[in-house]
Amino acid sequence: MIKIYHNPRCSKSRNGVAILENSGKEFEIVKYLDSVPQKEELKELLTLLDMTPMQLIRTNEKIWKEEFKGKELSDEELIDAMLSHPKLIERPIVVNGNKAVVGRPPENIENIL
């Protein structure tokens, strides 16, 4: 089952949902701001994405600039920051089996359908 980690307030995320709807494939929407991933789930996403925690962080978010910018943080601390402040997680993330992409640009999603 395809899964999209979605923020309805984000236009790129809404575009990602539209791409999945147009694909005709079944998929699950995870509103990750309401249902924050568990630590192991976030680590698995990072593995599937082949990204470091820092690469998945939205560094332009106000919370990042106010609380974390300029600090030396370990990968574990970065993961904990994303779990404490899920707005920091880049979006949307689409998972299809053992593949995952960040839908920025949204067309990236088509590469794993």
Q: How many domains does the chain have?
A: 1
Side-chain half-sphere CA neighbours of 38 within 13 A: 2
User: What domain range is 34 assigned to?
Assistant: 2-112
pLDDT in tens, 28-47: 999 999 999 999 999 999 99
Nearest to 84 by CA among 102, 61, 55: 61
Q: What is the CATH number of the domain that holds 94?
A: 3.40.30.10
Per the CB < 8 A criterion, the answer to whether 5 and 32 are in contact is yes
Residue 61 is given by DSSP the state S
pTM reported for the whole predicted model: 0.95
Catalytic residue, from 5, 6, 10, 11: name it.
10
Q: Is 10 a catalytic residue?
A: yes
Element (H, E) at 90: none
Q: How far apart, in whole angstroms, are the C-alpha atoms of residue 81 and residue 65?
A: 12
pLDDT in tens, 79-96: 999 999 999 999 999 999
